[in-house]
Amino acid sequence: MKATILTLTLATALSASAQQMPWQDPTLPIEQRADDLLSRLTLEEKTQLMMNGSPAIERLGIHQFDWWSEALHGVGRNGTSTVFPITMGMAASFDDALVQDVFTAVSDEARVKAHQAKHGEGMKRYHSLSFWTPNINIFRDPRWGRGQETYGEDPFLTSRMGVAVVRGLQGPDDAKHRKLLACAKHFAVHSGPEWNRHTFNVEDLPERDLWETYLPAFKALVQEAGVEEIMCAYQRVDGEPCCAQTRYEQQILRDEWGFKGLITSDCGAIRDFLPNYHHVVETSEHASAIAVRAGTDVECGSEYKNLPEAVRKGLISERDIDTSLRRLLIGRLKLGDFDPDDQVEWTKIPESVVASKEHRQLALQIAREGIVLLQNNGILPLKSSNSKSSNSKIVVMGPNANDSVMQWGNYNGFPVSTVTLLQGIRNALGKNIRYVPGCPLTASADGDKAADGTSTPEQLLAEVGKAEVVIFCGGISPRVEGEEMKVSAPGFKGGDRTTIELPQPQRDVVRALHEAGKRIIFLNCSGGAVALTPESQLCDAILQVWYGGEQGGQAVADVLTGRYNPSGRLPVTFYKDDSQLPDFLDYRMTNRTYRYFQGEPLYPFGHGLSYTTFEYSGLKATGTDVEVTVKNTGRRDGTEVVQVYLRRPADSDGPQKTLCGYQRVNLKAGERRTVTISLPRERFEVWDATTNTMRVVPGDYQLMVGSSSANQNLQVVTVTI
């Protein structure tokens, strides 16, 4: 009898445990499910789930999850994936529709990889469904090593690109589940430097700069794209760490903008509150408590393990922890993370999409569109030929010519194969094209393998021989510019640059080639602006090719030979030299970017040439719509990027002009088309010093329309709002 009773008791217990708990019921509202699960967790379990590496809670059947995955320009740090060009190269396309297509492909690959991990080794770092991208900080200074991760120096362009990225990653708003969770970073007022980011304090930042420059992209991603995550930055602003800024996280994000998602810290940012860094608190318990109370829900790091002790010491309440954790649980529920696979639409994406032919073609397309022809005296396009005699006149040279890893940028994945610049050129111009390394990337750099076997400029020249044209593949590399790096090279510090000049070994070789009578096509690889003033006088053509991803070499070859007519435009100002730059540590926008720069740049924001020419006429404004006629006046089909800039003449302290609209226009040779660009009323919002707010101030506004931000390329019409 006792055995029978024991058996029945065990059976009843097992039956009860097997019953579905409310948080596991996909038919219930997400908020109800989150509240049920929250009520079942211990304090220690709650805090474990608030760290980026969230362990499994086996007693409740909660599987492992990690909030940290990367998809800067393709799924990163998680094996094979399609590697697209760096985001600066994508921004240069001025094609946010294509960028959304790119990140739709990225999210397809990410979902497949997460599904494989969930049913394999588990959702470890870089394997999960929370992706810490896009980086929508403003690239205010070309020396910042992480500027390559952004979409340039303009708030509007950054907003449009960021919205496209989020929509591609998170999927349609009307889908049952979020495809992924995207994360806008780094909030707020962050753009270097790298070497002191754990102690740096941004002081005396004007409110105008905050609201007109540093915040607009974040607002757009919250209110237009519904981004699910925000990452707070390392530094302090006016003495207070960003990850403990109640003003930013509560008042601006949640109260003013209505952000409902979660906030994660940058990695180690909560530790930075301690004495060795910002020194705003003395203990880890205090650091964790003030971060959570401000609204930082997830920590990338290990300080939140001290939250239970912080509760016991009265530094924070368990209710505060519940508030944060509830947002995290809602995020996972939106993904379908606790639901059966057959009820989540995104689990049905086939594995064959990873590094597929279609995605590789998309990588080629966006790489082509992002290449910017900076100058050309008629040498381009080159004629494709496999004739040995013809190809003997061309030599490929330079430290970046045969470097596939350079093309991957940073935060990268690993492609099936990469078309280097050299390989692409040989594919287009003939397999017998000679390659001469020529010179190192820099005078001395850690890991600079390109320097091996190089010698003096006089000895390059001997190797070049009687060649008439040199395609020089130079610039810099992710080996020396990036995030908080330890490299030893002249002109670089901590991943940032101390100079924007082209490294001297390359400069010497280019000059020697010119003096020897060679015609030079300079391919500049970089994550941002390089001062190419001497080279602009010595070279016959210069192309900005960024770090072009796995298809970058083929894209460059297509442009060199005219198979693709270049249409890229600069998303940053290319300055003449270092003397035109303000102090790197000064976050005020005075004399920064095309919006406030008082000097004459080498190449202006929005600049980019074509193998054809375009003519503008008939500019007029109807209401807030701008209309202009564009004609292709050349002999080749081409794409023009029509750009619209805004200026409020009565605002003497405001920007000289600021981008407020653009449109890519494909025109056949001789074709004429009238282009209409709609400008919603909110595009006219400016900083109003009388009310200390962003608003549409009634009055006259100038709309400037043309092919770049340079005044000589713009036509002007005045509208009254």
Which is nearest to 477 in space by CA: 468, 464, 463, 487? 487
Q: Which residues contact 457 (CB under 8 A, 6 or more apart)?
A: 439, 508, 509, 511, 512
Number of other residues whose CB lies within 10 A of the CB of residue 278: 23
CA 96 remoteness from chain centre:
13
Clarify whether 266 is annotated catalytic. Answer: yes
From the list 108, 153, 266, 285, the catalytic residue is 266
Please measure the distance between the N-terminal and C-terminal CA atoms of the chain and give it in whole angstroms. Answer: 89
H or E element at residue 368: helix 357-370
Token pair for 221: 């991603």
Residue 396: half-sphere exposure toward Cβ, Cα within 13 Å: 28
Closest CA to 609 of 713, 470, 510, 531: 713
Q: Which residues contact 25 (CB under 8 A, 6 or more apart)?
A: 33
Read off the tokens for 563. Answer: 């198979």
The rounded Cα 588 to chain-centroid distance in angstroms is: 22
Residues 6+ apart with CB under 8 A from 235: 189, 190, 197, 200, 201, 202, 241, 242
Q: Is residue 485 within 8 Å of residue 422, measured between CB atoms?
A: no
Q: What is the 3-state secondary structure (H, E, C) of 208-258?
A: HHHHHHHCHHHHHHHHCCCCCEEEECCCEECCEEHHHCHHHHHHHHHHHCC
Q: How many CB atoms lie within 10 A of CB 226?
A: 17
How far apart CA 614 and CA 78 sit, in angstroms, is: 44
State the pairing for strand pair 541-544/519-525: parallel
The H or E element spanning position 66 is: strand 65-66
Q: Which one from 95, 194, 481, 535 is the annotated catalytic residue?
A: 481
DSSP3 helix / strand / coil % (the chain, rounded to 5):
35, 20, 45
Tokens representing 576?
Answer: 């003449």
Sequence-distant (6+) residues with CB within 8 A of 515 are none
Asked if 441 and 397 count as a contact pair (C-beta separation under 8 A), the reply is no
* Pairing, β 201-202 against β 181-187: unpaired
Cβ contacts of 456 within 8 Å, gap of 6 or more: none
Catalytic status, residue 25: no
Distances (CA, A) of 65 to 54, 176, 270, 331, 338: 5, 21, 21, 12, 11
For residues 294-332, b (16+ Cβ closer than 10 Å) or e, as one string? bbbbbbbbebbbbbbebbeeebbeeebbbebbbbbbbbb
Note the residue count of the chain: 721
The CB density around residue 62, as the number of other CB atoms within 10 Å, is: 22
Cβ-proximal residues to 676 (8 Å cutoff; 6+ apart), any chain: 625, 626, 627
Cα gap 94→548, rounded to integer Å = 16
Cβ neighbours around 386 below 10 Å, total: 11
Which residues belong to the active site? 266, 481
